[in-house]
Amino acid sequence: MDKNKSILKHNVVEIIDEKSLIKRLASGKKLRVKFGADPTSPDLHLGHIIALDKLRQFQEAGHIIIFLIGDYTARVGDPSGKSKTRPILSEEDIEKNAKTYFDQVGKILDIKKIEIRRNSEWYQKMTLAEVIKIASKFSLSRIVERDDFEKRIKTGSDVRYHEGLYPIMQAYDSVMLKADIEIGGTDQKFNLLAGRIIQRRMDQKPQDIITLPLLIGIDGKKKMSKSLGNYIGVSEDPNEMYGKVMSIRDEMVIDYFKLVTNLEDFEIEEFERDLKLDENPKEIKERLAIEIVTRFHGKKAAEKARERFNLIFAKKLVPEEMPEVEWKLGTCNDLPQLLVDLKFVKSKSEAKRLVAGGGVKIDKTKIEDIEAPICIHDGMVIQVGKRKFLRIKAKK
């Protein structure tokens, strides 16, 4: 498949305007391809890889990738698909999150060849009069008619004024960057179309847009999201990543192959046929887990993760290798507080929920009494959930 055909077809849901995009690609001109990411959390997850892979296709075809850090739009928060108003982040959190992005993006793209921009470059300097002028380019009725706002209004949930600014701000980014193309998930279609509207009204040729499929999270219900806790992080520990992939439902395996791996179509089609015949779903899922962990951590780490997973789940044994921490022996601790102190969880309430749900074992024994004092001994193994282990060693 030639590069342009792959750009137009591979993992693409919709192109607006397809005839215009084909013409642009055929022109031989270096196109400006925009992708925006609001640093609302420090980690990228597998759902982001779909867009990054599409950007890589454009990059390999010689086009200019503009990676826009939405450090200013993050203060508003994208309302797309949200059932309630997102919390407003501090400047410190936004900056901290932004710094982590590029180590992760560099796993997919050639960072040296990317135009990295921040929308604070223009919004930080803007006057209220300029904001009003930009907002005058849009219809309020169109904004409040968007699906997520309509649903919230019908259920009596708040839609705050600042949320209506988000699509306007994302659209104006396209004007400032002179974008030829913008890509995003299907949930971003409203915002991407807003970019076309404002470019046209500000005498720019409107960008063409490519929408991409959304990756369903490991809960099997909603799109992968850090805020929903159903994600697999790009920088996640190989063991955790492998285990999470193995936990997805069988019917999700092919989508993960198509959207997150670099396997050829004929290989994925073979797995799809085997799954329909109910042949070795576990082996196919293992292949998926190996492919994903190898992509982000290398083959050796993937093989070790598989061995560890099979040791724990197939043979129901405690792994020999695990993190260790020195602790004063003979002390008896409140279990929820101990789990917080050992950084298994962030709060005692979270620890209590884990214990109540049967998610904590000590020396292979499930702990069911939240109030039982836990007395520390050398070599004690604490297991939280299915994949997190920690060994206590005598403090020297």
Residues 6 or more apart whose CB falls under 8 angstroms from that of 67 comprise 35, 37, 55, 105, 109, 114, 115, 116, 117
Residue with structure tokens 């992509």? 295
Q: Which helix (H) or strand (E) holds 275?
A: helix 265-276
Q: How far is the C-alpha of 339 from the C-alpha of 97, rounded, in Å?
A: 26
Q: Nearest 5 degrees, angle CA 14-CA 23-CA 60?
A: 75
Contact 295, 262 (CB under 8 A): yes
Reading the chain (396 residues) residue by residue, the pLDDT tens digits are: 477 788 888 899 999 989 999 999 999 899 999 998 877 666 789 999 999 999 999 999 999 999 998 888 777 655 454 444 445 666 777 777 777 777 788 888 888 899 989 889 999 899 999 988 988 888 777 666 666 666 766 777 766 767 778 888 889 999 999 999 999 999 888 889 889 999 999 999 999 999 999 999 988 888 888 777 788 988 888 988 998 998 888 889 999 999 999 888 889 988 888 887 766 678 888 999 999 999 999 999 999 999 888 877 766 666 667 788 887 766 677 788 888 888 888 788 888 888 887 778 877 777 777 777 777 777 778 888 777 888 888 776
Report, in this order, helix, strand and coil percent for the chain, each rounded to 5.
Answer: 50, 15, 35
Domains and CATH numbers, the chain: 3-212 (3.40.50.620), 238-314 (1.10.240.10), 324-394 (3.10.290.10)
CA atoms within 13 A on the CB side of 138: 27
Please state, in angstroms and rounded to a whole number, the distance separating the CA atoms of residues 396 and 391.
15
The first and second tokens of residue 336, run together, are 């929820």
Euclidean distance between CA atoms 233 and 252, whole angstroms: 17
Tokens of 131: 């904001």
Strands, DSSP E only, in 19-125? Answer: 32-37, 64-69, 114-118
Sheet harboring 114-118: ordered strands across?
14-16, 208-212, 181-185, 32-37, 64-69, 114-118
User: Which two tokens mark 38?
Assistant: 């609001």
Question: Please, is 123 exposed, middle or buried when counting C-beta atoms within 10 Å of its C-beta (0-12, 13-18, 19+)?
Answer: buried
Q: What is the DSSP letter of 56?
A: H
Which residues, 6 or more positions from 88, have their beta carbon under 8 angstroms from its beta carbon?
A: 75, 76, 77
Question: Residues 324, 325, 328, 332: what is their CA dihedral angle, to the nearest 10 degrees?
Answer: -80
Distance of CA 56 to the CA centre of its chain: 17
pTM for the predicted model, two decimal places: 0.73
